[in-house]
Amino acid sequence: MKTIIFYYTGTGNSLWSARLLAARLGDAVLRPMKGADALAAGEAEAVGFVFPVHVWGVPQPVVAFVDRLALRPGTYLFALAVNAGQVSRTLLQLQEMLARRGLTLAAGYDIVLPSNYIPWGGAAPAEKQQERFAGARAKLQAVAAVIADREPGPVEKGPLWQRIVFSAIYRMTGKQVHRMDRSFWCDDKCNSCEICARVCPAGNIEMKKGRPAWKHECEQCLACIQWCPRQAIQFGKKTPAYERYHHPEIALNDMLAQAGGRSA
Ligand SMILES: Cc1cc2nc3c(=O)[nH]c(=O)nc-3n(C[C@H](O)[C@H](O)[C@H](O)COP(=O)(O)O)c2cc1C
Ligand code: SF4
Ligand code: SF4
């Protein structure tokens, strides 16, 4: 295997991006970060990281994964930071994390797809979603050509104001993410199907009397609220009125595979 792409996803945007890239590269295999061991990169010539931007930075589970992954110096490293329009310092943060280990991020790309951040609003209209899918598809085609040739590319970033203001928020909120699940609740539409518990990559949901209960080890990926087939999970007061979002080409089984540490 020449290229290995590790992915993390809550609503499928990152998995879809990783799949598109892998299809263009031809020599790549996909592996979920969840469940991958420290030696998972093996002898790969190129290693990629594909993940969503969370709170203007690298999600904590991705930080932990990248830090423990054994990487040979000289490996061609690349990343896609999948986001809803504000990549901020995310890729610079990853570049710095790798540099501390003497490794170089050869190329890091900002891939804009629909937002899954339901506390700020529901799914965008279908037409807007399609625009973003088309934009990302075109960009991924160009990105694949750079990666296939193992060329150095850009490490993309947001504007300076975003990097200053929002990176401070990332640092301030980091330790609180686990407990943000206090705002989740479940309404009477729940039919005890347990999909929320099975889809959670953090094992943060247990069923109590047929209803989900959150254990405060949350990664804020939003998979539970977005994949509940009955839209019975809510976050705060506004989500009963919001439409859910997940990438239309990603299936629940793909998400269950990730949660189980298997390739989708
Ligand atoms: C907790 C959380 C924080 C987010 N923060 C940002 C952000 O800072 N900038 C941004 O552009 N999108 C942000 N988003 C949106 C996601 O990055 C975006 O929808 C991404 O495509 C989701 O990818 P996924 O489907 O692979 O999880 C956030 C989403 C979540 C759940
Ligand atoms: S996925 Fe939805 S319907 Fe199923 S158990 Fe969870 S909250 Fe209830
Ligand atoms: S509880 Fe929900 S938001 Fe938190 S990690 Fe699990 S699936 Fe993601």
Please tell me the predicted confidence (pLDDT) of residue 171: 87
What is the secondary structure of 133-198 as a DSSP string?
HHHHHHHHHHHHHHHHTT----B----HHHHHHHHHHHHHHGGGGGGGGGGEEE-TT-----HHHH
Q: Which atom of ligand 3 is nearest to the CA of 196?
A: 7
Rounded to the nearest whole angstrom, what is the distance from the C-alpha of residue 207 to the centroid of ligand 2? 9
Q: Are 81 and 108 in contact (CB under 8 A)?
A: yes
Residue nearest to atom 8 of ligand 2 (CA): 190
Residue 221 CA to ligand 3 center (angstroms) comes to 5
Best residue for ligand 1 mutational test, from 30, 109, 116, 173 (most atoms within 8 Å of Cβ): 116
- DSSP element (H, E) containing 82: strand 76-83
Residue 90 alpha carbon, nearest atom of ligand 1: 8
φ and ψ at 238, to 5 degrees? -90, -20
Which ligand 2 atom is at minimum distance from the Cα of 186? 7
Return the ligand number nearest the Cα of 183. 3
Closest C-alpha residue for ligand 2 atom 2: 228
pLDDT attached to residue 156 = 98
Q: Is 251 in the pocket of ligand 1 (CB under 6 A)?
A: no
Query: Cα of 232 to ligand 2 centre, how many Å?
Result: 6
pLDDT at 230: 98
Nearest C-alpha neighbor of 104 from the set 134, 71, 126, 127 = 71
Other C-beta atoms closer than 10 Å to the C-beta of 116 total: 23
Q: State which ligand 3 atom lies nearest to the alpha carbon of 214.
A: 1
| CA of 199, closest atom in ligand 3 | 7
Ligand 1: residue whose CA is nearest its atom 4? 54
pLDDT for position 175: 80
Quote the pLDDT of residue 198.
Answer: 97
Positions in the chain short of pLDDT 70:
1
- Ligand 1 atom at shortest distance from the alpha carbon of 9: 26
Burial class (CB in 10 A: 0-12, 13-18, 19+), 149: exposed
> Residue written as tokens 């931007």?
53
Which position has the token pair 């991924």?
A: 140
Spacing, Cα 232 to ligand 1 middle (Å)? 21
Please tell me the residue having the least CA distance from ligand 3 atom 2: 224
